[in-house]
Structure 1
Amino acid sequence: MALIIKYIIAGLVRYWLIHIDYWQTIANRVEIATPLNSWKRLVEGVFLYDHNINPYEGDAFHESPIMLIFFHYLMKNVPYLLPLLFTTLDLLTAYLLFKTSKSFIKIFMESQAKNKCEVAEESYKLLLIESELEESAEYVLSTYLFNPYSILNCAGMTTTVIQNVLVAASLWGASTGHAILACAFVALATHQALYPILLIVPIAILLADVNKGCNKCSYIKTLLAFVLCWGFFIYISAYIMDGSYNYVYNTYGFILTVPDLKPNIGLFWYFFTEMFEHFRLLFVCAFQINALALYIVPLTLRFRKEPVLLATVLIALSTIFRSYPCIGDVGFYLALLPMWKHLFKFMQQKFIVGCAFIITSALGPTVWHLWIYSGSANANFFFGVTLSFATAQIFLITDLLFAYIKREFTLKHGSSRRIDDKPAILLLR
């Protein structure tokens, strides 16, 4: 009953925000809307398509053709249902994350029981019981439903709402062993935003663990299913555009080359605004390698036994370093963190990171107003806030990973520290 009340309250808040007089202001905020997910650009793309003009010939529309035809149908036939649709999809995302965390509880308990023989006797108190993990699932639900980032993202009716539900569905499918569902949803999310392609690695590992098929053949099958699904969506998109693949440049190409330098909460826009043009290609490649390829191998090798943690970290890193991030992306991965509530006691920077999130979230709109409307600030002020926001996120992720390593070490070796068979003493001189 308590869960139903949470859904109702969260849904009403989202639906109410979509209908208030300030909705247009919310939908156009740079922290919420980007050139990729903006509702305003989506409406423009649908308008052009409806008048037999290719929306990909200009620089206004960058969503996939599947999203274009989907919203074209809705706007033409049931436009009054759009606020309800976005609210429902956001609540569905919360529900899928809740079910994913429930499945993760079973996986974690099985892993803990299997490795119990390796736990030091004095570290038994760190072993978790199922009731503690059940609380984590409820925290995941509440964090997504009542996170201001997620609420404002839904209220702005951005297409990130759809991306979030697709990623959540892929994680749920992987955690329950439904390989085709997981691959199809992550392929559709990749087709929309490209960066979810990173998730195929933890999803493949998670599917192999859940289905007890941890071998090369299992990984290859998952990868093949993903490639086939992605290829199918690319073909369908070309079919929608009368057999033309020209849309690829204005979707994937737009994400990779970053031609639109409108300010957002990311790191790309300021660097490429200030950069000499002849260095652009070098730094575009460096930035995109950092976002898409740099961390996948080392993190997979180190955290291959915890694919859910690996997925959480990869989602967070792709959010921080992608070309057009928004607070909806941030709200999504923050909702996954309560699954790792048992690591919080090993984290050292919770207070600093929490303060940084609050301060930068308040300063961002303030500095933006001073820069754009008052003229008493400049781009350096706003970029300083976004850089601090990104730094806080990086501290959060690194602190979480170090906390996992600390707990893993303590479980195996115990919490006591001895040097030459004598208790270790820390002396400050």
Structure 2
Amino acid sequence: MDINFAFGGLVAARLLLSFVPLPDQLKYDHLLSSPLTSNLRLHEGIYLFKNGVDPYSGGVFYQSPLYLSIFSTLLPLNRVSSPIIWTLIDAVSAYALVQTWRARSGVGKSNRDALLAAVYLFNPYLFLPSLAFSTSSISNMLHLLSIMFAARRKTSPALFCLAALVHVSLSSTLLVLPVIILLLGQPKSSLANPKPISIDFEKGRMIGLEFLAHFAVLTLTSTFISGGFQWLWQTWFVELSLPDLTPNPGLWWYFFTEMFDHFRPFFLVAFSVHLLIYIAPVCIKFQYDPLYAAFILTGVLGTVKAYPTLSDPGLFFTMISLFPEILPYLRYPIVTSLIHLHASLLLPLFNHLWLSQGTGNANFFYASTLVFGVANGAALMDCVWAGLRIALGETKEGYEVVQQ
């Protein structure tokens, strides 16, 4: 089957799903959109922005001023345009995933292209937030575009997309180092034959400076759009200070709901630093395969970021399709899949019992998020194990380490 025809058919089917009368119900679902990605809050911010009111003065709108500018001028949102825009966003993301696979496998086309596109477009963890018009879909698109351009050696587009990603989602800072290493290295699989690499630090310094330049331009543009620096406290620092404790599938909200104010600053620092400590070990261990390092850090983000939605672990699970070589080396794929299936059933059930029926309480929903966190963590650890285990070659006597 021709990949262009298959891709067009997948996108058309995905567009039809966007026009069914589900999104109006999904917009209120805490599993699909967080305070930082909510479409309803985006509409409220745009309304205030158009009427000359600072959307960052009320403590409700937490999204980038770039969204205010783009969606109030270039891409106005309504019942017709929103499904088309979000479908195109998902189509670009699927295209970036396919192109990343081609760069990794070193081919122009492959039989897996249509499968990869379908895995992204119809992954429930990804298309349900997209049907809710969550801006997490935009973050996923920037995430995959930055990796795609880096894998194809297009430095400036990769760094611009990466800067835009960090700008709209500060926790995505975890991806800066692996993307820079990917620009310095190569995207092809080296998991089975790991070798230390020599890094051109001078080139890396220039790449880092260019990233900072892109980031500074976006920051100044946002400041100009919003008319001041108030947006900094209502976007970037929200992920660090956690002012909005709206329930979500993550592990932070309930912990800080029960936290005494006296201990809050300490645990905010501890939780934030916890995200950062993974960068150096993962990038050092997988320096010979930076694309895999970016994949592992994507899983870390999907598991322990401050305001996650289902699309965050969904992106991680979709990116597994880029690494078919690790599948035989996963230790407990069936157990991990069953735990995830269990969690995916518990989350909407306990959320409905608590917030809609009133027959449960916060402990019900948080118990399901803990199961979900265990499932995400188990999948992450299994992928780390497989990425390391593949470097061991089987022999008649046992196992032989082939890493040099």
1:287 positional shift: 0.8
Q: 1:238 aligns with which of 223, 230, 235?
A: 223
Q: Which residue of 1 aligns with 2:24?
A: 24
Task: Call closer, same or farther: CA 1:328–1:318 in 2, change over 3 Å.
Answer: same
1:15 positional shift: 2.8
- Find the aligned partners of 1:284 and 1:360 in 2 and give their Cα distance: 26
Tell me if the contact between 2:282 and 2:293 (Cα under 8 Å) persists in the aligned partners.
yes
* Cα deviation 1:4-56 (Å, max 9, x = unaligned): 45434443444334333332111211110110111100000000001100000
Q: 1:258 aligns with which of 230, 242, 250?
A: 242
Q: Does 1:176 align with 2:159?
A: no
| Secondary structure of 1:32 counterpart | coil
Moved more, 135-144 or 182-191: 135-144
- Find the aligned partners of 2:219 and 2:398 in 1 and give their Cα distance: 59
1:363 positional shift: 1.4
* Cα deviation 1:106-140 (Å, max 9, x = unaligned): 2xxxxxxxxxxxxxxxxxxxxxxx89x94555543
* Cα deviation 1:308-332 (Å, max 9, x = unaligned): 1000011110121111111122222
Q: Which amino acid aligns with 1:385?
A: S
Q: Which residue of 2 aligns with 1:207?
A: 183
Tell me if the contact between 2:163 and 2:215 (Cα under 8 Å) persists in the aligned partners.
yes
Task: Call closer, same or farther: CA 1:3–1:204 in 2, change over 3 Å.
Answer: same
RMSD of aligned alpha carbons? 2.2
Tell me if the contact between 1:6 and 1:142 (Cα under 8 Å) persists in the aligned partners.
no
Structure 1 gaps of 5+ residues are 107-129, 420-429
- Find the aligned partners of 1:83 and 1:278 in 2 and give their Cα distance: 45
- Find the aligned partners of 1:197 and 1:315 in 2 and give their Cα distance: 11
Q: Does 1:154 align with 2:154?
A: no
- Find the aligned partners of 1:15 and 1:30 in 2 and give their Cα distance: 23
Q: Which residue of 1 aligns with 2:395?
A: 415
TM-score (norm 2): 0.91
Q: Which residue of 2 aligns with 1:219?
A: 204
- Find the aligned partners of 1:140 and 1:9 in 2 and give their Cα distance: 14
Tell me if the contact between 1:179 and 1:207 (Cα under 8 Å) persists in the aligned partners.
yes
Tell me if the contact between 1:140 and 1:336 (Cα under 8 Å) persists in the aligned partners.
no
- Find the aligned partners of 1:376 and 1:78 in 2 and give their Cα distance: 35
Tell me if the contact between 2:149 and 2:155 (Cα under 8 Å) persists in the aligned partners.
yes
- Find the aligned partners of 1:277 and 1:70 in 2 and give their Cα distance: 38
1:387-402 mapped onto 2 (5 Å cutoff): 387-402=370-385
Tell me if the contact between 2:250 and 2:306 (Cα under 8 Å) persists in the aligned partners.
yes
Structure whose residues are more often helix by fraction: 1
- Find the aligned partners of 2:68 and 2:317 in 1 and give their Cα distance: 29
Structure 2 gaps of 5+ residues are 188-196, 400-404
Task: Call closer, same or farther: CA 1:136–1:402 in 2, change over 3 Å.
Answer: farther
Q: Which residue of 2 aligns with 1:355?
A: 338
- Find the aligned partners of 1:350 and 1:362 in 2 and give their Cα distance: 18
Tell me if the contact between 1:14 and 1:154 (Cα under 8 Å) persists in the aligned partners.
no
Q: Which residue of 1 aligns with 2:97?
A: 97
Tell me if the contact between 1:187 and 1:197 (Cα under 8 Å) persists in the aligned partners.
no
Q: 2:269 aligns with which of 285, 289, 300?
A: 285
| Secondary structure of 2:236 counterpart | helix
- Find the aligned partners of 1:234 and 1:373 in 2 and give their Cα distance: 40
Q: How many residues get paired?
A: 390
Task: Call closer, same or farther: CA 1:104–1:259 in 2, change over 3 Å.
Answer: same
- Find the aligned partners of 1:158 and 1:266 in 2 and give their Cα distance: 16
Structure 1 or 2, whichever has the larger Rg, is: 1
Moved more, 229-238 or 368-377: 368-377
Tell me if the contact between 1:96 and 1:172 (Cα under 8 Å) persists in the aligned partners.
yes
| Secondary structure of 2:263 counterpart | helix
Task: Call closer, same or farther: CA 1:89–1:222 in 2, change over 3 Å.
Answer: same
TM-score (norm 1): 0.86
Tell me if the contact between 2:71 and 2:77 (Cα under 8 Å) persists in the aligned partners.
no
- Find the aligned partners of 1:271 and 1:69 in 2 and give their Cα distance: 35
Q: Which amino acid aligns with 1:415?
A: T
Moved more, 137-146 or 226-235: 137-146
Percent identity among equivalent residues?
Answer: 27
Q: Which residue of 2 aligns with 1:249?
A: 233
- Find the aligned partners of 1:10 and 1:362 in 2 and give their Cα distance: 26
1:142 positional shift: 2.4
Task: Call closer, same or farther: CA 1:392–1:136 in 2, change over 3 Å.
Answer: farther
Task: Call closer, same or farther: CA 1:135–1:12 in 2, change over 3 Å.
Answer: closer
1:245 positional shift: 1.1
Q: Does 1:73 align with 2:73?
A: yes
1:3 positional shift: 3.3
Q: Which amino acid aligns with 1:374?
A: Q
Q: 1:324 aligns with which of 307, 328, 333?
A: 307
Q: Which residue of 2 aligns with 1:341?
A: 324
Tell me if the contact between 1:371 and 1:379 (Cα under 8 Å) persists in the aligned partners.
yes
Q: Which residue of 2 aligns with 1:197?
A: 173
Tell me if the contact between 1:137 and 1:338 (Cα under 8 Å) persists in the aligned partners.
no
| Secondary structure of 1:252 counterpart | coil
* Cα deviation 1:351-405 (Å, max 9, x = unaligned): 0111111111111111111112222222111111111111111111111111121
Q: Which residue of 2 aligns with 1:269?
A: 253
1:80 positional shift: 3.4
